[in-house]
Amino acid sequence: MNSSNTPSPHRLASPVAEKRKRLPSLIWFMPLLALAISAWVVWNNYAARGPLVTITFKSASGIVEGTTEVRIRDLRVGVVERIGFAEGMTAVEAQIRFDKEVAQYVDTDAQFWLVEPTVTARGVSGIGTLLSGVYIAADWDGDPGVPADKFSALAIPPLSSKHEEGTRVILRARAGGQLAAGAPVLTSGIEVGRIGQPKLSESGSMVTMEAFIFSPFNERLTTKTRFWDASGLSFNLGAQGLALKVNSLAALLEGGVTFGTPVTGGEAVTDAHVYDVFSSEEIARADAFEEKETSNIPISILLSSDVNGLGLDTLVRFKGVKVGDVIDVVGIPPKSGSEEGVNLRIDMELSRSRLGISTEISNNEVRELLRQRVANGLRARVGSEGLFGQTVILELANLSAALPAELTVDADGRTFIPTVASSAIDTDSGVDGLMERVSQLPIEELINSASLALASFSNLTATAEGVLAAEGMDQIPEKIDSILGEARTLITEVREGGAIENLNATLSSADTALKSVNKEVETTLSEVRRLISKLSDGGAVESLNATLKGAEAALKTVDGEVEKTLSEAQSLISDLRTGGSVENVNKTLAEVNALFQDLREGGAVENLNATLKSADGALQSVDGVLADTLVEVQALMKELREGGAIESLNATLKSADSALNSIDSAVSTLPELAKRLNATADSLQAVVSGYDTNSRFYGDVRGVLNDISSTADSFRSLARSIERNPSSLITGRR
Amino acid sequence: MGVTGHQQSLITARDVGLVACTSCGLVAHAADHVCSRCHAGLQSRDHKSLQRVWAWLIAGLIVYVPANLYPMLRTTQLLKTQDSTIVGGVVDLVHHNAFAIAAIVFIASVVIPVGKFLIIGYLAILLPRTQNKDSHRLHKLHSAVEFIGRWSMIDVFVVAILVALVQFDVVASIKPGPAAACFALSVIFTMLSAQAFDPRLIWDVADQGKPE
């Protein structure tokens, strides 16, 4: 204490004591600075925190507090802070802290869903979550909206992100299509979109689903675009063989739809345009080509009976023309509670243009029009069509005899057309109906008549046998033998009697006759050629046909003559058999002699010439058949010759002559006929010229003309062969 | 008095009206304010020393709070991000049975800073008191605090090295958290606090029982 109170003389007064101020030093700003730094850090962290949002999930599969992130486009925008049960333990609520920057976008249109690793036919998705754990994907548009803090997570990822450009359309398919959510939408084999979750329609008969078509491809969607099912495999066993069509593997497993725009001129579509999904490309294309009515007439009918085979694809026909489609079949309970069971209400859409109703008049006016038609007898009924009536159709028919009925309108505004009983024989179609129809075929009668025919045939055979077994039949050869012997003696007599010379002379005259025949044949052939050229020029095939028909008729008469001749020959043979006297033969030979005499004198040759002339006339149209006839005649003559009855030759020739005469007379009418046919052909040509060169009729006509020219060719070749070998007219072709 | 005899016999520079330069050691007259050799300021006793000590100490304490509350490291491994505070990191290391590393981290970032706060606070409280105390012990404590203070930076260096090295994009990457800066500031502040301490005051008390 002393030392401090009494400082030594060297010691200076303490400078510190003088300077001691009780003011705080500037150094105290440092703690304030530190406080400020800390406060800034704390505030910075606090301010960076975005809003806390509650998202409800069905289950907390894999969500971890403080770790599970919320990502948008794979960028972290928030994290799960807490997870717990919702009230009543019905769901799981995750509280998510969003980043400040995105907070303004977490508005009512935000969507959230859980991303887990999934393996589908199209590949593996969310594989990152295998390592990092699940995350919550978010999607929202870029416009800040009304903020929200409670959301419900989607069960499946949404069809498209709000940032993806494209068109959202609604597809309507028949139930049973194998379309699953996420299935691809293809066009030209390229995946251009996705299908959303399919939903069943109210009636359960249709499935609707959203489909999203990505941006550059959505321009291909027009009102004329058609979608069809591209699921799985399609087999087609047709005339071309077996066709197996497999689309992409993904489509095979998950289904898929393809679209195409086979018709141009459609208008661009906007979101929520409804498309039908057709079952095959062919049907879809066919539908596209068929102009759809914008304002179809909706009508309904009530059917009390069960009709199998009535469905959505059932056609509605009016006077055989398709006028609409069935769009729905609904079972409804009958009003009065009768015990009849369920009525069927069939909703149809009728095309205005097919019914001849203007598109400008309103539906009410159409209803009045229909009411009038119903009053005049318009009724609906179930009909059938197809080879065996296997296809059920709905028919609108004007039945003036129908019981009076009128158009009714129900509470929902449906227009009901009265129905009448089915026109189908058995609407219970299918195999039963088919069998019914088959059993109604007149098979039995056919078989009966066939057996009758067989019986008469066997009768005939029996008679023939009886004739053959008749007495004396076995003696015929002997008799013929003796006849031949006598004939031989006769011949020697003839030879000795100078008959040979006669014969020679006869033959020479026959020769000259044949020569003249040759000439005649040549002129005939030139005529034939001219005719053929005329035919090929004029193109009157039908006249030719008619001519040929006439020729055929003529030949039939020839046939009759020949038959008559044959019967005469037969009677002659029977005469021979019964008589069998040499005198007869002698007489016969004398007659032969006389015949040859006649021949020599030229009368027969002239006859023959005349015959040939008429044959020539006939030949203009009936050559081939005539040749055949001549062959037959020749064969007949041969038979006769072998039978040893030369007289029959004369008779035959005579009858042939008469036959040919009748042909001649028939032929004489030919020019007139040909003239008429020519006129017909001319008018036909006029008609033909009226047709477009591309029309089907023209094609047919051309085909006919081709046929004609080939016919003419065959005529020409025939003519040539006759020219080379004129005797073939007599002897037939060799 | 109450002072031991051998201490009383010591003559300090101040006793003979001189002042020693703390930077070059030259002895000058007490009236001089600037060292004639190295031009450093001359003060016989730094009477604002305690204020500075307290100020730096409090600043260090303040920033030490967010340094422990906020994450030091933000580790991203395969799309999974983890934030770890200092203590949380130590707990994690213990869970992974890395006891040695856990001990180092724990000592460097918890024991040493907290120890420094306590020791500096203890020195700053005891210094103006006249009660009997062991000036030698205080001097040793002061030396220890000055020596060990810089080692607290080991944590900041670890963070810096990790952040620089572990940058493998998606697989693993480490980013410093807000706590890293706070922790570094805390260490700096406590070091300044320890430096602001004028050890001569310890002996003045020993000599006179009360600093002037």
A94-112 pLDDT, tens digit per residue, is: 998 888 888 888 888 888 8
**From CA A623, how far away is CA A715, in angstroms rounded?**
8
Query: Residue A99: left (phi > 0), alpha (psi -120 to 50), or beta?
Result: beta
Sequence ranges of the domains in chain A: 166-289, 297-439, 443-471, 482-668
Q: What is the Cα Rg of chain B in Å?
A: 22
Count of C-beta atoms within a 10 Å radius of residue A110: 21
**What CA–CA distances, in Å, run from A18 to A549, B18, B198?**
157, 18, 19
Average confidence (pLDDT) over A168-172: 86
Q: Which chain B residues have a beta carbon less than 8 Å from that of A10?
A: 16-17
Our CA-based measurement puts residue B25 at a distance from the nearest CA of chain A, in whole angstroms, of: 20
Average confidence (pLDDT) over A496-505: 61
A242 at interface of B, judged by CB pairs closer than 8 A: no
Which residue type occupies A137?
A
B29 shares a domain with B132 = no
Closest residue of B to A4, CA-based? B208
A116-127 pLDDT, tens digit per residue, is: 887 776 677 777
Closest residue of A to B182, CA-based? A38
A231-281 pLDDT, tens digit per residue, is: 666 666 655 567 776 666 666 666 778 888 877 777 788 888 888 888 777
B44, B59, B75 — which closes off a domain?
A: B44
Contact state of A27 with B45 under an 8 Å Cβ cutoff? no
Is residue A648 pLDDT above 60, yes or no? Answer: no
Q: Which chain B residues have a beta carbon less than 8 Å from that of A70?
A: none
**Secondary structure E strands in chain B:** 18-20, 27-29, 73-77, 80-84, 167-168, 172-176
Which pLDDT band, with edges at 50, 70 and 90, does A209 fall under? confident
Q: Tell me what pLDDT residue A101 has.
A: 82
Q: Tell me what pLDDT residue A8 has.
A: 45
Contact state of B79 with A11 under an 8 Å Cβ cutoff? no
Contact state of B212 with A4 under an 8 Å Cβ cutoff? yes
A19 at interface of B, judged by CB pairs closer than 8 A: yes
A344-392 pLDDT, tens digit per residue, is: 888 888 877 777 777 677 777 888 888 888 888 888 888 777 665 667 7
Our CA-based measurement puts residue B37 at a distance from the nearest CA of chain A, in whole angstroms, of: 22
Q: Tell me what pLDDT residue B211 has.
A: 47
B110 shares a domain with B53 = yes
In chain B, the number of structural domains is 2
**From CA A560, how far away is CA A576, in angstroms rounded?**
24
Cα angle A197, A199, A205 (rounded to 5 degrees) comes to 145
Total residue length of chain A? 734
A44 at interface of B, judged by CB pairs closer than 8 A: yes
Cα angle A221, A278, A266 (rounded to 5 degrees) comes to 30
Q: Which chain B residues have a beta carbon less than 8 Å from that of A31?
A: 55-56, 58-59, 62
Specify the DSSP element, H or E, that contains A670: helix A670-690
A529-584 pLDDT, tens digit per residue, is: 676 666 555 544 555 456 556 656 666 666 666 667 667 656 665 655 555 444 55
Contact state of A31 with B62 under an 8 Å Cβ cutoff? yes
B113-146 pLDDT, tens digit per residue, is: 898 899 888 888 887 775 656 778 888 888 888 8
Our CA-based measurement puts residue B55 at a distance from the nearest CA of chain A, in whole angstroms, of: 5
Contact state of A19 with B185 under an 8 Å Cβ cutoff? no
Q: Which chain B residues have a beta carbon less than 8 Å from that of A37?
A: 62-63, 182, 185
Our CA-based measurement puts residue A52 at a distance from the nearest CA of chain B, in whole angstroms, of: 19
Q: Tell me what pLDDT residue A251 has.
A: 64
Residue with tokens 């009512």: A108
Is residue A292 pLDDT above 60, yes or no? Answer: no
Among candidates B191, B208, B146, B198, which has minimal Cα distance to B22?
A: B198
Give me the residue from B47, B185, B196 closest to A37, CB to CB: B185
Cβ–Cβ < 8 Å for B209, B110: no
Token pair, residue B5, equals 């005899």
B33 shares a domain with B53 = no
**From CA A596, how far away is CA A499, in angstroms rounded?**
10
Which residue type occupies A167?
T
Contact state of B81 with A27 under an 8 Å Cβ cutoff? no
CB within 8 Å of chain B, chain A residues 56-115: 67, 69, 76
Our CA-based measurement puts residue A190 at a distance from the nearest CA of chain B, in whole angstroms, of: 33
Closest residue of A to B196, CA-based? A27
In sequence order, which residues have a C-beta less than 8 Å from that of residue A510 and are 6 or more positions away?
A599, A605
| Average of per-residue pLDDT values in chain B | 80
**From CA A694, how far away is CA A700, in angstroms rounded?**
11
Our CA-based measurement puts residue B99 at a distance from the nearest CA of chain A, in whole angstroms, of: 26
A397-429 pLDDT, tens digit per residue, is: 887 777 777 788 877 778 888 887 765 444 444
- Percent share of chain A, pLDDT over 90: 0
Contact state of B212 with A131 under an 8 Å Cβ cutoff? no
Give me the residue from B48, B80, B181 closest to A25, CB to CB: B48
Average confidence (pLDDT) over B38-67: 84
* Entry pTM: 0.41
CATH number, domain with residue B165:
1.20.140
In sequence order, which residues have a C-beta less than 8 Å from that of residue A169 and are 6 or more positions away?
A210, A211, A213, A221, A269, A271, A272, A273, A274, A275
Is residue A166 pLDDT above 80, yes or no? Answer: yes
Is residue A71 pLDDT above 80, yes or no? Answer: yes
Count of C-beta atoms within a 10 Å radius of residue B20: 17
Q: Tell me what pLDDT residue A606 has.
A: 56
Give me the residue from A25, A34, A132 closest to B79, CB to CB: A132
Query: Residue A701: left (phi > 0), alpha (psi -120 to 50), or beta?
Result: alpha
Q: Which range among A332-346, A374-388, A449-463, B48-62 shows the weakest confidence by mean pLDDT?
A: A332-346
- The larger pLDDT score, comparing residue A665 to residue A641, is at A665
Contact state of A3 with B17 under an 8 Å Cβ cutoff? no
Q: Tell me what pLDDT residue B6 has.
A: 47
**What CA–CA distances, in Å, run from A697 to A688, A689, A692?**
8, 11, 8
Our CA-based measurement puts residue A37 at a distance from the nearest CA of chain B, in whole angstroms, of: 7
Of the residues A14, A30, A35, A67, the best mutation for testing chain B's interface (the one with the most B CB atoms within 10 Å of its CB) is A30
Largest Cα span, chain B: 72
B38 shares a domain with B10 = yes
B195 shares a domain with B144 = yes
Our CA-based measurement puts residue B87 at a distance from the nearest CA of chain A, in whole angstroms, of: 17
Size of interface A-B (CB pairs under 8 A): 92
Which pLDDT band, with edges at 50, 70 and 90, does A287 fall under? confident
Q: Collapse the DSSP code of A420 into the 3-class scheme (helix H, G, I; strand E, B; otherwise coil) and give the result.
A: coil
Give me the residue from A20, A35, A67 closest to B80, CB to CB: A67
Give me the residue from A14, A17, A27 closest to B55, CB to CB: A27
Give me the residue from A1, A37, A45 closest to B70, CB to CB: A45
Is residue A138 pLDDT above 80, yes or no? Answer: yes
Q: Partners of A322 in the beta sheet? A: A317
Burial of A446 (0-12, 13-18, 19+ CB in 10 A): exposed
Write out the residue range of the structural domain in which residue B17 sits: 1-44
Token pair, residue A651, equals 């008779």
Pick the most confident of A214-223, A390-399, B111-120: B111-120
**From CA A631, how far away is CA A474, in angstroms rounded?**
31
| Average of per-residue pLDDT values in chain A | 71
Contact state of B63 with A45 under an 8 Å Cβ cutoff? no
B156 shares a domain with B102 = yes
Contact state of B51 with A28 under an 8 Å Cβ cutoff? yes
**From CA A692, how far away is CA A696, in angstroms rounded?**
9
Q: Tell me what pLDDT residue B149 has.
A: 77
**From CA B40, how far away is CA A450, in angstroms rounded?**
146
B100 shares a domain with B2 = no
A26 at interface of B, judged by CB pairs closer than 8 A: no
Give me the residue from B45, B189, B208 closest to A34, CB to CB: B189
Average confidence (pLDDT) over A455-464: 74
In sequence order, which residues have a C-beta less than 8 Å from that of residue A414 and are 6 or more positions away?
A298, A299, A300, A345, A347
B192 shares a domain with B101 = yes
Q: Tell me what pLDDT residue A370 has.
A: 82
B111 shares a domain with B200 = yes
